[in-house]
A and B are shown apart, each in its own frame.
Chain A
Amino acid sequence: MTDKLVEQIRDALRVVIDPELGYNIVDLGFVYDISVLDGAVRIMMTATTPGCPAIHFLREGVANAAERVPGVRSIDIVMTFEPLWTPSCIEPVVRASLGFAAVN
């Protein structure tokens, strides 16, 4: 049941995009972890650049998308830059379509 809810939340988060890269934050690898305990959701996520003015909106967007999933009672979002996001976090198919160089 919990695993199913996690996947439903992950799917819901695909409506949130990184405005600069133009892809959803799930495939870009911004979502580090989603955990659920009795409907209380904790999402650990990141962004490309600390200090970027988009971060506040990404965080709000994730909260907005997650709260629409049935079974979610509360949401706690943790924004972290450890580890730092790199393009290697992107799904390979998306990475190729974005024209990224080979990632070390």
Chain B
Amino acid sequence: MRTMIMGLAAAIALGGTALAQGQAIKPAIVYDLGGKFDKSFNEGVYTGAEQFKKDTGVEYRDFELQNDAQREQTLRRFARDGFSPIVAVGFSQASALEKVAKEFPNSKFTLIDMVVDAPNVQSIVFKEHEGSFLVGLLAAKASKTGKVGFVGGMDIPLIRKFACGYVQGVKYANASAEVLQNMTGTTGAAWNDPVKGAELAKAQIDRGADVIYHAAGGTGIGVLRATADAGKLGIGVDSNQNMLHPGKVLTSMLKRVDVATIDSFKAAKDGTWKPGVTVLGLKENGVAWALDDNNKSLITPDMKAAADKAAADIVSGAVKVHDYMSDQKCP
């Protein structure tokens, strides 16, 4: 009996030290159907993971889903093979992750863009409406016609959340400004249809819009090309897309999934990984607008000051950006 207790104590002690050093992590990523190289959301996670690999030398495994049935299968497979933390990218993974997390209580899961309440799940969500508000403000300030555009991918609540924040930002800067809105389509193809994106942008330009924001994944590449070709301004999304057409992209609304990924991996490595919900907004640097050499000339000091002030007001709570997801309505 005594030896058993001793053994148990030793095991706990050993386990404890292993946890404290926490070097042996086997991270894994499950991308959403969009795929690893979507130039936007999923690719942000990939960029973050590659950066982590470079910084720490820790190898990771990843998997690109092909259909819905694979979600559970892949998560379970990674968990069974001892991978942890497992990063699940995209809100569609939630129900599969909920099941698998229960089956493997000792594995750590990180879910991006959706919340699952479980003792071994870390949920990371973003306040896209706050970032969209700021680029909306910049768009209104940059517009000469008083008309700005928005091109969304698929008409789902998430994209309405982008649009809603954007409209509020535009109206905040110029109450009489008009926002033209289009969604690209109704199938998954809407995320990857640059030709149609360009057509929608051209139609909006014909109606007088001179700054167009896209939240449409690969479709947005066409939006940015069309605005650049017409001598108007585009606004990128998720990753920094300013360099796609230098001087023709006003700014990009950054959603720092790369930072979220690195942080999650690092925390697991250092043994500080914690379950629960992390909401990344302007305050946490989870969303931001991009300012670099490519768009320096487009952002006047006045615009920058206005955006910085609005950002500070949002952080302090003086300006409230309405979240479409809270009541499915946009003021």
Q: Do A and B come from one complex?
A: no
Which residues of A approach B to under 8 Å, CB–CB?
Answer: none
Which residues of B approach A to under 8 Å, CB–CB?
Answer: none
